[in-house]
């Protein structure tokens, strides 16, 4: 058979994972192993010098005076709420469009999460709704810097000061993000960070950090992190085991050196997506709208002019999401829904008395959002593969 007679072969599908941690590890393997060896040789596994060094480095990176290493982002929120003295029956304002831990930490202390809907373009708390949600039981506001872009902190801080409320930034997805030049975690009373492996700065397991500029709060969080011991075995308050491991700290210290390069790569990937989606005609040239139309079946994230967006996730809205997901999965393209059920509709919060339709922006986002691969090592060709697959879906549909 001559080459002209060769049957056309289907192009081999190239898989595009949502995240490829092995690709990142390959670039820092030697350094990481040296750091792990250092800790193993020391046999000092809990808190200690590695954790203290990481605390200083993250505090400085986040423009804060203090960092307190903790066991996870969830525990960062929990211990911070304990440190401000949150009591059963108190209320904390936050959004229903977040990872569960934001509201879970409030509920675990017997307090009530009070939800305020999100802004349709940024998915961050709609500041217009905060003031009417305040009651005489409100103690704090937790703005969530979702997907790596900070909430509109100026009006939030203004409302908090006027009403004597604490502000805990849920910065789990936003290390290094900025709002008007100020870093995530440096504006509120505390910032709560997660080092879950899929975060921009991810450990080899669970880990987290609380940042603050308030020395009294820092001291209280340190106390609570280790059973309220002061001195050891003499418990001043009831705390918990919220300690960070030295092995995690050692890994994170290596990774922190590369974080700005990785963030730049994520930002570059976001810019490539915008360009490719625009040339495919899938988004309007002015891509700041949050509304889907027949001619433009997807929207890309809005990056506000005041932001340094660190793109922990690149989340589009899309028409016919479940079908699109199936289409992408069939092509071996990794996508994920963050988050399919808004927090006010979670089974465990039935007793809060919220109902469907109460937070329409969050509910619509839960039905339309889809996270695409954006990790730093993603080759440009893979971004094109993702956009081509989405363009194919809407052209046949």
Ligand X SMILES: Cc1ncc(COP(=O)(O)O)c(C=O)c1O
Tell me which residues touch ligand X (CB under 6 A): 72-74, 98-99, 101-102, 144, 170, 172-173, 194, 196, 206, 208
Nearer to ligand X, 59 or 79 (CB): 79
Nearer to ligand X, 102 or 213 (CB): 102
In whole angstroms, the minimum distance from the beta carbon of 125 to ligand X comes to 12
* Residue nearest ligand X (C-beta atom): 73
Closest CA to 359 of 112, 130, 116: 116
In whole angstroms, the minimum distance from the beta carbon of 110 to ligand X comes to 19
Tell me the residue ranges of DSSP E strands in 171-223: 178-179, 182-183, 190-194, 208-212
In whole angstroms, the minimum distance from the beta carbon of 83 to ligand X comes to 17
In angstroms, the first-to-last Cα distance of the chain is 37
Nearer to ligand X, 103 or 372 (CB): 103
Tell me the residue ranges of DSSP E strands in 332-381: 369-372
In whole angstroms, the minimum distance from the beta carbon of 104 to ligand X comes to 9
Return d(Cα 397, Cα 382) in angstroms, integer.
23
Nearer to ligand X, 99 or 354 (CB): 99
Return d(Cα 382, Cα 365) in angstroms, integer.
26
Burial of residue 58, with CB atoms counted within 10 A of its CB: 0-12 exposed, 13-18 middle, 19 or more buried: buried
In which element (H, E) is residue 356 found? Answer: none
In whole angstroms, the minimum distance from the beta carbon of 206 to ligand X comes to 6
> If you count them, how many residues does the chain have?
397
Classify residue 226 by its DSSP letter: B
Residue 125 burial (CB count, 10 A): 29
In whole angstroms, the minimum distance from the beta carbon of 312 to ligand X comes to 8
Tokens of 74: 């969830």
Nearer to ligand X, 92 or 276 (CB): 92
Half-sphere exposure of 36 (CA within 13 A, CB side): 11
For helices 246-256 and 21-42, angle between their N-to-C axes, nearest 10 degrees:
130
Nearer to ligand X, 72 or 385 (CB): 72
Q: How far is CA 87 from the centre of its chain?
A: 26
Return d(Cα 310, Cα 149) in angstroms, integer.
7
In whole angstroms, the minimum distance from the beta carbon of 349 to ligand X comes to 16
In whole angstroms, the minimum distance from the beta carbon of 86 to ligand X comes to 16
Return d(Cα 20, Cα 14) in angstroms, integer.
14
Nearer to ligand X, 333 or 343 (CB): 343
In whole angstroms, the minimum distance from the beta carbon of 199 to ligand X comes to 7
Nearer to ligand X, 120 or 203 (CB): 203
Burial of residue 36, with CB atoms counted within 10 A of its CB: 0-12 exposed, 13-18 middle, 19 or more buried: middle
Return d(Cα 255, Cα 262) in angstroms, integer.
10
Please say whether the beta carbons of 73 and 54 come within 8 A.
no
Phi (first) and psi of residue 73, to 5 degrees: -65, -35
Nearer to ligand X, 282 or 372 (CB): 372
Phi (first) and psi of residue 7, to 5 degrees: -65, 140
Nearer to ligand X, 96 or 208 (CB): 208
In whole angstroms, the minimum distance from the beta carbon of 342 to ligand X comes to 13
């Amino acid at each position: 058979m001559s080459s002209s007679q060769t049957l056309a072969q289907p192009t081999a599908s190239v898989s595009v994972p949502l995240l490829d941690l092995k690709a990142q590890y390959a670039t820092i393997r030697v350094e990481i192993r040296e750091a792990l060896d250092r800790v193993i040789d020391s046999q000092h596994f809990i808190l200690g010098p590695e954790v203290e060094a990481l605390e200083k480095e993250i505090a400085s990176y986040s423009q804060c005076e203090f960092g307190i290493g903790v066991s996870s982002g969830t525990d960062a929120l929990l211990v911070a709420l304990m440190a401000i003295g949150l009591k059963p029956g108190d209320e904390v304002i936050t959004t229903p469009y977040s990872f569960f831990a934001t509201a879970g930490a409030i509920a675990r202390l017997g307090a009530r999460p009070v939800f305020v809907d999100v802004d349709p373009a940024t998915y961050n708390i709609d500041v217009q709704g905060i003031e009417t949600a305040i009651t005489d039981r409100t103690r704090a506001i937790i703005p969530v810097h979702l997907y790596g872009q900070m909430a509109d902190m100026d009006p939030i801080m203004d409302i908090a000061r006027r009403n004597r409320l604490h502000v805990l930034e849920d910065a789990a997805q936003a290390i290094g993000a900025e709002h008007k030049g100020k870093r995530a975690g440096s504006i509120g009373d505390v910032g709560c960070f997660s080092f879950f492996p899929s975060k921009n700065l991810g450990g080899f397991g669970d880990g987290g950090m609380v940042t603050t500029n308030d020395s009294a709060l820092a001291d209280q969080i340190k106390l609570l992190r280790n059973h309220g011991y002061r001195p050891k075995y003499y418990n001043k308050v009831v705390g918990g085991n919220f300690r960070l491991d030295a092995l995690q700290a050692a890994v994170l210290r290596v990774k922190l050196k590369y974080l700005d390069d990785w963030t730049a790569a994520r930002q570059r990937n976001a810019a490539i997506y915008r360009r490719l989606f625009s040339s495919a005609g899938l988004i309007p040239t002015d891509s700041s709208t949050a509304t889907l139309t027949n001619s433009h079946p997807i929207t890309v994230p809005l990056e506000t002019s005041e932001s340094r967006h660190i793109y922990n996730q690149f989340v589009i809205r899309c028409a016919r999401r479940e079908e699109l997901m199936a289409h992408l999965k069939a092509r071996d393209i990794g996508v994920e829904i963050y988050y399919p059920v808004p927090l006010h509709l979670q089974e465990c919060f039935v007793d809060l008395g919220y109902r469907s339709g109460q937070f329409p922006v969050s509910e619509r986002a839960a039905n339309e959002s889809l996270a695409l691969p954006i990790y730093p090592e993603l080759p440009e060709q893979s971004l094109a593969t993702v956009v081509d697959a989405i363009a194919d879906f809407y052209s046949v549909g």
